[in-house]
A and B are shown apart, each in its own frame.
Chain A
Amino acid sequence: MSWTDAFALVLTELRRRAARSALTVAAVALAATLLTSLVTIATTAQNRVLSEVSTGGPLAGIKVAAAAPDPSQVDRDDARPGAPKPLDEAALARIRGVKDVKAVYPVVAVPVVVVGPLHVGPGPVPAGDESVAGGPGDGPVDLYGDSLVGLPLTQVARLPVTLLAGRLPTAGSLTEVVVTPGYLDRFHLSAKQAPLVVGTRVEIGFPRGFATGAARARWVRPTVVGVAAQDAGPGQFLGSVELAAVGRDWTLAGGARGAPRFGLQDTTYTGLFVIADRLDRVTAVRTRITTIGYSTSAPENLIASVKRYLRVVDIVLAAVSAIALVVAALGIANALYAAVRERRREIGVLKAIGARDRDVLRIFVLEALLIGAVGGVIGAVAGTAVAGTVGWAVNRYLHSQGIAGIRLALSVGVLAGAIAGSTLLAVVAGVAPARQAARLPAREAVAE
């Protein structure tokens, strides 16, 4: 009997017992749905948790400070920086050349004076004042000191920055900044109200001291284009390295009377963000940077702990999925055993007209394979839909809280695995009843 004939017989049988076939396929589909959705959701959640732990940046990220190292820093996530030490182009090049370093990104953090906006939040904007800073005031000036952190914005995807609202500044921009949740706190805005500050302007001054003892600021009026959580450096404002460099050069021009007075070290870069080739190379890279002579910190111990707990979750989810698949396999076996009993006469007729044992085996294995494959495909699609629905619901909640949403970790591998796994399991479950059917003597089967 050819495979084509066997396939035609299987289709005829499945159509004849459509209800039972549909139930069996549904059982397989449910198991595949559970497997696909659980794996997708678990992977998405895992990625998000680890991303949060490393505050948006790559897991193998290391922060380097413009300071001498703490001798015990490699064993600790947070190091205690030693005496200030300039971090210049030569040091950056040296660190970039360290073994197992994938990339190095400069950070420039500068002190700023902030003239707080007149009006932030819901309600009418003062007449004639299109920006929230500037214009005649009807209240006291909120003047405070903080910092602007300058980052290479073309590489922000690799930096510890998580966008919460709006967008990031254009690379190299001198007129755009992003503010942090700390800025929202200052004006008593919740995370949900973050979009209210997007599009407003803020007046920022880079301070400088003069020989006379007076201080003068170099003022800029950037537009707030977004809100982001960041861990690249302390400060409520995030902007381009170019903007921070304007401030750094102005403040440092004050000489001995300038920079130290405002807490700015005479250094080209106030820090670096280094990415190691792999997470398991972070310790080695930190050791080498310590040898060069700079302070480092990295959440490697925290990430390792979190990954251990996530592994436990993976094991539990795998067990749940396995149970579901076993239940589905038992259903297939049960259905096929029932089919063998009901089709004994048919099997006898087939053998009487010349079908061999392996032809009968082929029919029942093919039936199991078809049930498994169809159930697997339906389950993979349904599982993706379930994961998508869960993702939509989660994003809706996160956005309502003013938190960045998640990106579903859809994987072709998972889908293919669900289909292949369901098919294989169905075949395995169908082998025993298929062999039983194949061994039925023709005379005995026809006689019943």
Chain B
Amino acid sequence: MSDRYRSVAVAVAVAIAAAVVLSACSGSRSNPAPAPQPFARPGLYVAVGASETIGDGTTEPLREAWPQLLFGAMPLSVSFVNLGFQGATTADAIARQVPVAETLHPTVATVWLNVNDLINGVNAPDFEAHLRVILERLRAAGAAVYVANTPALDHLPIYLACSQAAPTACPAGVPDPLPPPAVLNRMVDDYNAATGRAAAASGAIVVDLHAASLAARADGSESRLISNDGFHPNAAGARRISDTFVAVLRATGALG
């Protein structure tokens, strides 16, 4: 082979090798979530979560719970199962909700599990590990998974009432003492970072309820979105949460 042709062959080989190496490297960096496909066939939406998922805080959970509203935005061919229950933590969900969800092979799954873990003192690494298990198992079952992060909690009426030196309107079951706002916000930030990492690793998509809650605070509507129990979203709050989920699902093409 002449020198000219040899140098061309070497250049081509190097280019091919570089392409192979680059593609291998990009695969190990992240596992981007594949764009969920619209419901091309009858689908199933499963909600995994806790009390706010089953509509606590609303007047008519069967009509006003945010997953029910999200279900209402989906194509008519979709059916819906709400596996949430009161007080559920990520560990509870792994034990009771995820096994059922796996048998259903849902098309879409939403996960909102954080506040009860926070209340029960689960540290961020453990929370992340549990959450990642949930998200990976749901993804393995075939679902496009949307996971909510933790909204801002420092302005919740129940937190404010129970944080007073002599709390008078603090119901039983609230941890005592409550962390000060700065600590609480740092814990929420740690949880949200953990949520982001778990989502990235499993191919789930984060629904930023934290940003939505701050937006509500900025536009002055925050207090009108919380129910009389000072903790759960009311019907208007559930609608705001559902709208946030709908926007993300729509942006990722899951609603067609």
* Chain A positions within 8 Å of B93 at CB level: none
Q: How many residues of A contact B (CB 8 A)?
A: 25
Are A210 and B76 interface neighbours, CB within 8 A?
A: no
Query: Does chain B have a CB within 8 A of A441?
Result: no
* Chain A positions within 8 Å of B239 at CB level: 136
Query: Does chain A have a CB within 8 A of B63?
Result: yes
A34, B22: Cα distance in complex, Å: 94
Query: Does chain B have a CB within 8 A of A246?
Result: yes
* Chain B positions within 8 Å of A216 at CB level: 81-83
Q: How many residues of B contact A (CB 8 A)?
A: 24
Name the one of A143, A175, A223 contacting B62, with C-beta atoms under 8 angstroms: A143
Which positions 73-122 of chain B face chain A at CB distance < 8 Å? 76-77, 79-83, 85, 96, 100, 103
Q: How far is the CB of B103 from chain A (nearest CB, A)?
A: 8
Beyond A136-B239, A212-B96, whether A220 also contacts B63 by CB under 8 A is: no
Name the one of B76, B83, B103 contacting A222, with C-beta atoms under 8 angstroms: B76
Beyond A135-B63, A137-B63, A219-B79, whether A214 also contacts B85 by CB under 8 A is: yes
Which positions 54-77 of chain B face chain A at CB distance < 8 Å? 59-60, 62-64, 68-69, 71-72, 76-77
* Chain B positions within 8 Å of A210 at CB level: 100
A135, B83: Cα distance in complex, Å: 21
Q: How far is the CB of B221 from chain A (nearest CB, A)?
A: 16
Query: Does chain B have a CB within 8 A of A115?
Result: yes
Beyond A136-B239, A141-B63, A212-B96, whether A220 also contacts B82 by CB under 8 A is: no
Are A219 and B80 interface neighbours, CB within 8 A?
A: yes
Sorted nearest first, the 4 A-B pairs with minimum C-beta distance are: A219-B80, A175-B76, A134-B72, A220-B79
A217, B83: Cα distance in complex, Å: 9
Q: How far is the CB of A382 from chain B (nearest CB, A)?
A: 52
Query: Does chain A have a CB within 8 A of B42?
Result: yes
Are A115 and B63 interface neighbours, CB within 8 A?
A: yes
1/0 contact string of B37-66 vs chain A (CB within 8 Å):
000001010000000000000011011100
Beyond A135-B72, A136-B64, A223-B76, whether A174 also contacts B42 by CB under 8 A is: yes
Query: Does chain B have a CB within 8 A of A221?
Result: yes
* Chain A positions within 8 Å of B103 at CB level: 253
A143, B96: Cα distance in complex, Å: 27
Query: Does chain B have a CB within 8 A of A218?
Result: yes
Query: Does chain B have a CB within 8 A of A123?
Result: no
Q: How far is the CB of B77 from chain A (nearest CB, A)?
A: 5
A210, B71: Cα distance in complex, Å: 22
* Chain A positions within 8 Å of B100 at CB level: 210
Which positions 337-363 of chain A face chain B at CB distance < 8 Å? none
Query: Does chain B have a CB within 8 A of A124?
Result: no
A136, B240: Cα distance in complex, Å: 12
Beyond A136-B235, A174-B42, A216-B81, whether A221 also contacts B76 by CB under 8 A is: yes
A-B contact list, 29 entries, CB within 8 Å:
A115-B63, A134-B72, A135-B63, A135-B72, A136-B63, A136-B64, A137-B64, A141-B62, A141-B63, A174-B77, A175-B76, A212-B85, A212-B96, A214-B85, A216-B81, A216-B83, A217-B82, A218-B44, A218-B80, A219-B71, A219-B79, A219-B80, A219-B81, A219-B82, A221-B71, A221-B72, A221-B76, A222-B76, A223-B76
A253, B99: Cα distance in complex, Å: 13
1/0 contact string of A193-237 vs chain B (CB within 8 Å):
000000001010000001010101111111100000000000000
* Chain A positions within 8 Å of B77 at CB level: 174-175
Beyond A212-B96, A217-B81, A219-B81, whether A134 also contacts B63 by CB under 8 A is: yes
* Chain A positions within 8 Å of B81 at CB level: 216-219
Query: Does chain B have a CB within 8 A of A413?
Result: no
Q: How far is the CB of A262 from chain B (nearest CB, A)?
A: 15
Best-surrounded residue of B63, B71, B83, B239 (most CB of chain A within 10 A):
B63
* Chain A positions within 8 Å of B96 at CB level: 212
Query: Does chain B have a CB within 8 A of A122?
Result: no
Query: Does chain B have a CB within 8 A of A140?
Result: yes
A135, B58: Cα distance in complex, Å: 13
A10, B239: Cα distance in complex, Å: 90
* Given A175-B77, A219-B80, 15 extra CB contacts under 8 A: A115-B62, A115-B63, A134-B69, A134-B72, A136-B239, A174-B42, A201-B76, A210-B100, A212-B96, A216-B81, A216-B82, A217-B82, A218-B80, A219-B71, A253-B103
A219, B55: Cα distance in complex, Å: 15
A201, B77: Cα distance in complex, Å: 12
Name the CB-closest residue of B to A219.
B80
A210, B95: Cα distance in complex, Å: 13
Name the one of A115, A201, A212, A246 contacting B79, with C-beta atoms under 8 angstroms: A246
Q: How far is the CB of B162 from chain A (nearest CB, A)?
A: 29
* Chain B positions within 8 Å of A246 at CB level: 79
* Chain A positions within 8 Å of B79 at CB level: 174, 218-220, 246
* Chain A positions within 8 Å of B80 at CB level: 218-220
* Chain B positions within 8 Å of A212 at CB level: 85, 96
A219, B67: Cα distance in complex, Å: 11
A85, B192: Cα distance in complex, Å: 54
Q: How far is the CB of B99 from chain A (nearest CB, A)?
A: 11
* Chain A positions within 8 Å of B59 at CB level: 137
1/0 contact string of B144-173 vs chain A (CB within 8 Å):
000000000000000000000000000000
* Chain B positions within 8 Å of A136 at CB level: 63-64, 235, 239
A182, B143: Cα distance in complex, Å: 39
Name the CB-closest residue of B to A115.
B62
A440, B42: Cα distance in complex, Å: 90
Name the CB-closest residue of B to A174.
B42
A134, B59: Cα distance in complex, Å: 14
* Chain B positions within 8 Å of A143 at CB level: 62
* Chain B positions within 8 Å of A219 at CB level: 68, 71, 79-82
A328, B96: Cα distance in complex, Å: 87
A214, B71: Cα distance in complex, Å: 21
A115, B103: Cα distance in complex, Å: 26
